[in-house]
Amino acid sequence: MDSIIVTGNGPLSGQIPIAGAKNACLTLMPATLLSEEPLTLTNAPRLSDIKTMTQLLQSLGAEVTSMQDGQVLVMSSHDIHNHTADYDIVRKMRASILVLGPMLARDGHAIVSLPGGCAIGARPVDLHLKGLEALGAEIELKEGYVHARAPKGRLQGGTYEMPFASVGATENVLMAATLAKGTSVLKNVAREPEIVDLADCLIRMGAQIEGAGTSTITVQGVDRLGGATHPVVTDRIELGTYMLAPAICGGEVELLGGRLDLVRAFVEKLDMAGVDVRETDNGLLVKRRVDRIQAVDVVTEPFPGFPTDLQAQMMALLCTAEGTSVLEEKIFENRFMHAPELIRMGAQIDVQGGQATVVGVDRLKGARVMATDLRASVSLILAGLAAEGETIVSRVYHLDRGYEHVVGKLESVGAKIERVQGS
């Protein structure tokens, strides 16, 4: 397993290009199952999770061709000969559950392994299943697999109000509703930009959807969907992650392709902490305006609130803030695993349940630390950028799931960082 070595190296300057969104691409790819026509995605990120989704779709019979060094994915689901998503692939990536809705909607039956939990929580899929049942699906759980079928051979439009705004459940049920017979009304759904991007793509394919990005989405089912070419939306989590590099190290970095509308709640907190973010013709320019970052409190919420996927990275910034910050994680039940690793670097963090209290220290010290999940990994890299001495982050395969060329991107703005082959 590879490690990444990062050494505190002063202020950063330059430009970092932001890729297409992992969490948009992982729901756009299963959308190919809704149509027999080709679906082409441009601006796709080059990530191991995308490769895993490719393998899953190919195991079902879809053709997926990666072009232009992985930035273009041409998919065709003309012949789906297998309607079972195996545990071996699903257990590697929870987003695999997103083939359930499209497969069920297209052919009236699907068998998908339950994804199982992961490091940050149990992560059940009960809301996905309840939503599909609201569209007339019959769901049975057998030996760790979801067996779903549409009794009349086709899903029926229905109304579904989610107890809370689950991103994945919204995506699964939205995709299924596009081919259901009749009208579906989905309430209290997720409003993330990735949902809007999915709806834009489905509309390009001929779906009739209104309200994406709001809490209520209305879908008029159609008999079939066509093909489309769709650009994957910018990755707001990669964007926010790299915005923190100049915030932590000082200097000025321009994030190419960055869009302010994708990160407003995050930028508000950066502003309170003493970091300026300005729109440019090419993206967002980030510069710390204070000598020392100021403590701020953070509560993670569904969009448009502060994103849970930037909580670990924000904590890395707040470890050396002036004052005490309280971070409340309200989306996942166990998403502070970066805290013990940051404490090894000298941070003062007290975790009580879903709340982490961070008392700022002057400077962190490099140490050997271990990545535990995707976002925790990158928060340790960020902390190491300004720490005194060398930080060695092990198990960086987590990073490869969600960040393309993280070493190259940070090196290009002056960070002292290298990847070493693991034992």
Question: Contacting ligand EPZ (CB under 6 A), which of 26, 29, 316, 380?
Answer: 26
Which residues, at least 6 apart from 136, have a Cβ–Cβ distance to it below 8 Å?
A: 150, 151, 152, 155, 156, 158, 180
- Of 362-381, binders to ligand EPZ (CB under 6 A) are 374-375
- 26/298 with CB nearer ligand EPZ: 26
Q: Of the candidates 308, 313, 325, 394, which one interacts with ligand EPZ according to CB under 6 A? A: 308
197 near ligand EPZ, judged by CB under 6 A: no
Question: What is the nearest approach in angstroms of ligand EPZ to the Cβ of residue 233?
Answer: 12
Cβ neighbourhood burial of 55 (10 Å; 0-12, 13-18, 19+): middle
Q: Which is nearer to ligand EPZ, 194 or 254 (CB)?
A: 194
Q: Per CB under 6 A, which region of 153-161, 162-170, 272-280, 317-325 contacts ligand EPZ?
A: 162-170
The pairing of strands 39-42 and 228-231 is parallel
Nearest to 228 by CA among 211, 203, 253: 203
Q: Does 331 bind ligand EPZ (CB under 6 A)?
A: yes
| 163: contact with ligand EPZ by CB under 6 A | no
Only segment of 21-29, 74-82, 149-157, 246-254 that touches ligand EPZ (CB under 6 A)? 21-29
Q: Which residues contact 60 (CB under 8 A, 6 or more apart)?
A: 33, 77, 80, 81, 82, 83, 85, 99, 103
CA distance 77 to 59: 11
* Number of amino acids touching ligand EPZ (CB under 6 A): 23
- Least distance between ligand EPZ and beta carbon 44 (Å): 14
Q: Give the nearest distance from C-beta 26 to ligand EPZ in angstroms.
A: 5
Residue nearest ligand EPZ by beta-carbon distance: 168
Looking at 6, 12, 23, 349, which residue binds ligand EPZ (CB under 6 A)?
A: 23
Q: Give me the least distance between CB of 170 and ligand EPZ, in Å please.
A: 8
Q: How far apart are CA 128 and CA 75, in angstroms?
A: 24
Smallest CA-to-CA distance from 375 within 417, 307, 312, 306 is with: 312
At 375, give phi and psi (nearest 5°).
-80, -30
Rounded to a whole number of angstroms, the minimum distance from the CB of residue 215 to ligand EPZ is 14
Which one of 402, 407, 409, 410 is in contact with ligand EPZ (CB under 6 A)? 402
Q: Pseudo-torsion of CA 225, 206, 55, 309, nearest 10°?
A: -150
List CB contacts of 268: < 8 A, sequence separation 6 or more: none
Q: Show Cβ contacts of residue 167 under 8 Å, excluding neighbours closer than 6 positions.
A: 23, 190, 192, 194, 195, 302
**118 among known catalytic residues:** yes
**Of the residues 25, 118, 201, 249, which is catalytic?**
118
Q: Which of residues 112-131 bind ligand EPZ (CB under 6 A)?
A: 121, 123-128
Q: How many CB atoms are closer than 10 A to CB 79?
A: 11
Which residues are catalytically annotated?
118
Site for ligand EPZ, rule CB under 6 A: 22-23, 26, 94-95, 121, 123-128, 166-169, 308-309, 331-332, 374-375, 402
